[in-house]
Chain A
Amino acid sequence: MLIQVLGTGCAKCKALTANAEAAARAAGVDARVEKVEDLREIMKFKVMSTPALVLDGQVRSTGKVLTVEAIRQLLTP
């Protein structure tokens, strides 16, 4: 699974990236966490507020730092 965190590199984006990594470990999912900082790439997802969480190309959350537990629930439906 590909987990992407969209954000230009502020504290919230870093927090979401860390939470996503922790959630992937907690869920035991084989996932690659990737940070997307290029604006043109971010705009392709039509996201207006960062940080945003993208799972396998689908935008699942925008503008907030999800908790590890909330991300884990998204990873294991």
Chain B
Amino acid sequence: MSAHARELAASARAVAPPPRGRARLYGALGGALVLWYALYRLIEPGAELVTRRLLRLDPTTHLGSAVAFFLFEVPKVLLLLVLVVFAVGVVRSYFTPERTRAILSGRRESAGNVLAALLGVVTPFCSCSAVPLFLGFVEVGIPLGVTLSFLVSAPMVNEVALVLLFGLFGWKVAALYLATGLLVAVVSGFILGRLGLERWVEPWVYESMAAAAPAEDAPPLPFAERLDQGLTAVREVVGKVWPYVVAGIAVGAGVHGYVPTGLMAGVLGKGAWWSVPLAVVLGVPMYSNAAGIIPVVQALLEKGAALGTVLAFMMAVIGLSAPEAIILRKVLRPPLIATFFGVVAGGILLVGWLFNAVL
């Protein structure tokens, strides 16, 4: 172990909570899971009870239907969100950006694109880290296309979106979102790699790399510290998105109760081919509202909007964002950023049209 790795190990120990018994830790974890399951089972009868008995509303009326929808969806989505964000937080503690880079270095295109897209889902990084991460990848000779596959899949396949889709649409739609998100990342990275866009990377990036040596991976963490990272993720992510989720479900509940079925069929239905590009154009500037947009979109879907259009909208909201473009501008020149957005948007369009045609 080098001096640098020892330093990191020492700081990890300093940050970790005081050592507890393993048995107690697993006991607490098991207890929390049982409690979670019990709460989850109580949502449906609970929502029913509150709507009928406490509020004395008839679920077949507009108001009753909207209120029942809201009371059922909010706790369900929040519980699912806590569980999944915690699990993702723990899984991510196994995939540091340094390890991901080590796995990807020396990979060629194609297999590298697939691996990069998969790692993009599990590697923790916030959008402001996109540039150091990009530089770190380029530094060890990972091809540009493979790096871009990673940068597409990381924001596009989003765990919050996955939970909302699962909770509101079921596992089939969630799986479709995951699979097509990965596909867009793999294919767009591959195409961008073929285009030979290295000349549009800011020249200083390659110059400063020559002297740099790869950094070392941090030593393994104790399991308690990994659970702690899961809890931190819950605090950070759920703490930030819950108002959007509640607001989104409230709007969704209103649409669910009051908007007549079939109203959206003309505007966002399968018949209107232009609805997919429109959804992408509308989605790009809406970055931070991903959590709140899905319940609204669910209500739209229920009233006749097409699934492909809805998925395209969601992918554009989450995968393509103006803030990310501004951050990437520090290392990439405008033609490459434009091509990057163009190819990804093209992939999203194809996914939207494909779903509308097939389903």
Chain A interface (Cβ < 8 Å from any Cβ of B): 7-10, 12-13, 39-40, 42-43, 46-50, 58-64, 66, 70, 73-74, 77
Contacts and interface: CB of A to CB of B under 8 A. Distances in A.
Contacts of A59: 4, 7-8
30 contacts: A8-B131, A9-B128, A10-B126, A10-B127, A10-B128, A12-B128, A42-B132, A43-B132, A43-B135, A46-B136, A46-B214, A47-B132, A48-B97, A48-B129, A48-B135, A49-B96, A49-B124, A49-B125, A49-B132, A50-B132, A58-B4, A59-B7, A60-B7, A60-B8, A60-B11, A63-B96, A64-B232, A70-B15, A74-B14, A77-B14
B98 interface: yes
A42 B131 CA distance: 10
A20 B268 CA distance: 50
Given A42-B132, A48-B135, 9 more contacts: A8-B330, A46-B136, A46-B213, A47-B215, A48-B136, A49-B125, A63-B125, A74-B15, A77-B14
B331 A63 contact: no
Kindly list the 7 A-B residue pairs having the minimum CB-CB distance in the complex, ordered from nearest.
A10-B128, A46-B215, A48-B136, A48-B97, A60-B11, A49-B129, A70-B15
Contacts of A7: 128
B330 to A, nearest CB: 6
B212 interface: yes
Interface in B1-41: 4, 7-8, 11, 14-15
Main secondary structure of the interface of B (DSSP, over half): helix
A48 B212 CA distance: 13
B128 A8 contact: yes
Interface string B104-138: 00000000000000000000111111011101100
A64 B12 CA distance: 12
Contacts of B278: none
Nearest to A42: B132
B11 A50 contact: no
A50 B135 CA distance: 12
B11 A74 contact: yes
Contacts of B330: 8, 39
Contact of A50 (B14, B128, B218): B128
A68 to B, nearest CB: 12
B101 interface: yes
Contacts of B133: 48-49
